[in-house]
């Protein structure tokens, strides 16, 4: 394209990342650039990452939630907080526990969450859905057909995961875990579900 010929593909990618409010996948950048192969785009992104990896830069390119995004460096946080006069809100412990449970056990129903946590979770679940960290995946085909919950793409972004396979490994229950193998298998299954739902894009 003529107009964009003035600007290097690197510059265009930088501009795209700058204006996008969600991480951009390789595929989307490739589609916009038009004329560059996936491998080429991949190389350009690596170049851009390198260029940004300078000590006096205040912003960086990072890979998260199946895409690339620009963020400020952590060292700039105090300055930004002074500029804004506020710090970002954090999740409560109850919310974090519930979210961890959903992340590792998805798809999971409310009764299943209650069984592990030993407390009611309505309020917490509502908050998590409202903040879009948790989403409804469907219904479990059993009596009462309870709603199945899972994590969203926003969840990956929030914690800085590239995809669900990046979740930290759960500590195995030592002696009492005869079904540990089954646990791993279900983790895999979750990944497949996510891929099918388009939350995580397989590279």
Partner 1 sequence: MSYRVRLEMFEGPLDLLLYLIQVNEIDIYDIPIAKITQEYLGCLAEMKELDLEVAGEFLVLAATLIHIKSKMLIPVEEVAAEGPPAEDPRQELVERLLEYKRFKEAAMTFEELEADQSLLYVRPADPAVPIADGPLEISLSALLRAFMTVMQRAPEAVAGEITPEMINVGERMVALLDRLALQSPVLFMALFEGVTTRLQLIATFLGLLELLRRGLVRARQTEPGGEITIYRTVETAVETDGHPG
Q: Which does 116 bind (CB under 5 to 8 A by kind): partner 1, its own copies, none?
A: partner 1
Binding pattern for the stretch 95-134 against its own copies, x by CB under 8 A and - elsewhere: ---------------------------x--xx--xxxx--
Residues 50-69 binding its own copies (CB under 8 A) are 55-59, 65-66
Cα–chain-centroid distance for residue 179?
28
Residues 134-153 binding its own copies (CB under 8 A) are 135-139, 145, 147, 152-153
Binding pattern for the stretch 51-90 against partner 1, x by CB under 8 A and - elsewhere: -----------x------xxxxxx-xx--x---xxxxxxx
Check: CB of residue 139 under 8 Å from CB of residue 147. yes
Stretch that binds partner 1, among 6-14, 34-42, 43-51, 91-99 (CB under 8 A): 91-99
Residues 137-156 binding partner 1 (CB under 8 A) are 137-142, 145, 147-148, 150
The conformational region for residue 54 under phi > 0 = left, psi -120 to 50 = alpha, else beta, is beta
Check: CB of residue 159 under 8 Å from CB of residue 133. no
Q: How far apart are CA 191 and CA 188, in angstroms?
A: 5
Q: Which is nearer to its own copies, 42 or 60 (CB)?
A: 60
Q: Which is nearer to partner 1, 40 or 66 (CB)?
A: 66
Q: With CA atoms as reference, report the closest residue to 29 among 77, 1, 62, 68.
A: 68
Determine if 7 is a binding residue for its own copies (CB under 8 A): yes
Cα–chain-centroid distance for residue 46?
20
Q: With CA atoms as reference, report the closest residue to 107 among 137, 128, 127.
A: 137
Q: How far apart are CA 14 and CA 48, in angstroms?
A: 8
Residues 18-37 binding partner 1 (CB under 8 A) are 18-21
């Amino acid at each position: 394209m003529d107009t964009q010929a003035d600007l290097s593909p690197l510059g265009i990618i930088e501009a795209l990342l700058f204006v996008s409010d969600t991480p951009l996948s390789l595929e989307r950048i490739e589609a916009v650039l038009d004329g560059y192969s996936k491998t080429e785009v991949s190389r350009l992104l690596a170049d851009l990452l390198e260029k940004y990896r300078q000590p006096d830069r205040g912003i960086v390119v990072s890979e998260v939630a199946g895409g690339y995004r620009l963020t400020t460096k952590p060292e700039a946080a105090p300055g930004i907080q002074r500029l804004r006069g506020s710090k970002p809100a954090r999740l409560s412990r109850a919310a974090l526990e519930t979210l961890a449970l959903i992340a590792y056990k998805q798809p999971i129903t409310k009764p299943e969450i209650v069984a592990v946590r030993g407390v009611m979770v309505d309020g917490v679940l509502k908050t998590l859905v409202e903040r879009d960290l948790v989403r409804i995946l469907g219904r479990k085909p059993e009596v009462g057909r309870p709603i199945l919950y899972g994590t969203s793409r926003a969840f990956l972004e929030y914690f800085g995961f590239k995809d669900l396979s990046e979740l930290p490994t759960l500590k195995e229950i030592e002696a009492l875990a005869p079904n540990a193998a089954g646990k791993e298998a279900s983790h895999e299954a979750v990944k497949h579900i996510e891929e099918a739902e388009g939350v995580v894009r397989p590279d």
